[in-house]
Amino acid sequence: MSPRVGVVLGSGLGAFAEHVEGGVRIPYGEIPAMPSSTAIGHKGELVLGRVSGVEVAVLSGRFHLYEGYSAQQVVSGIRLLYELGVRTVLLTCAAGGLNLEYAEGALVLLSDHINLQGANPLVGPNDERLGPRFPDMTEAYSADLRKLAKRTADDLAITLHEGVYAAVLGPSYETPAEIRFLKHIGADLVGMSTVAETIAANHLGMRVLAIACVTNLAAGLGSGKLVHDDVLAIANRVSGTFLKLVSALVPQLAQS
């Protein structure tokens, strides 16, 4: 099998892996040098199969800095996808919404990011066989793929927003003061993943498309406390729309 497209599934979005046709499932524990995915809502397996007739490699569960992994370990999945032949990757994640135009359950294309995690997976000696010492990040999220995603969403009558993602370390949720700061510096979304993977993928010359599911209003913007079970519940609620969009996107990503 030679997968054309890679998909990384975030919190609560793992149901997509169940719809991979002819899926071969390999637990991360059986893959050399792969960490274990310990976060709730992350199954922790590589799924190889087809979506809409296209060969794909799906990472059902990712790794986070807050689990105690290094930035290099966090991007193990991206580098595995590259070794499998994937050159276009779709990253997905759950995120808190800072932009009040986003309702809970909204899907948002990432147009850019702000890395506030204090870590970068490229720190240390550079392997020139993988990519340059100083990779350009001007267009970390492919503009062409974002246009394609918007057209696909329009055809399906799915609302797809676009915004800037701020990545923080976690695992504690942000304070209201931190949310005010993030809004002030231009963030529309906040989360604890995705950015390290995007950096590693760009270093490898891969094209990146990223879609976030807004699972809650960020601290101080809504009522009540933030609870991870609620994050998973919202992600599960929109899983049908998410599945419909990604299933339509995959063949176009393979052809573009």
pLDDT at position 228: 64
Type of residue numbered 139: E
pLDDT of 15 over the 90 cut: no
Tokens 């899926």 belong to residue: 23
Confidence of residue 45 (pLDDT cuts 50, 70, 90): very high
| Domain span including residue 235 | 5-255
pLDDT at position 54: 94
Confidence of residue 26 (pLDDT cuts 50, 70, 90): very high
The pTM of this model reads 0.93
Q: How many structural domains are present in the chain?
A: 1
User: How confident is the model over 200-239, as pLDDT tens digits?
Assistant: 999 999 999 999 999 887 655 765 666 666 667 776 777 7
Give the separation between CA 76 and CA 83, rounded to whole angstroms.
11
Per-residue pLDDT averaged across 55-61, rounded? 94
Active site members: 11, 42, 64, 66-67, 94, 192-193, 216, 228
Percentage of the chain exceeding pLDDT 70: 91
Burial class of 103 by CB neighbour count within 10 A (0 to 12, 13 to 18, 19+) = exposed
Instruction: Give the list of residues 6+ apart from residue 212 with CB closer than 8 angstroms, or none.
Output: 10, 92, 93, 94, 95, 107, 108, 110, 165, 189, 191, 194
pLDDT at position 60: 93
pLDDT of 240 over the 70 cut: yes
Give the separation between CA 227 and CA 214, rounded to whole angstroms.
14
What is the separation, in whole angstroms, between the first and last Cα of the chain? 20
Q: What's the 3-state SS for 92-146? A: EEEEEECCCCCCCCCEEEEEEEEECCCCCCCCCCCCCCCCCCCCCCCCCCCHHHH
We report the CATH number of the domain holding residue 42 as 3.40.50.1580
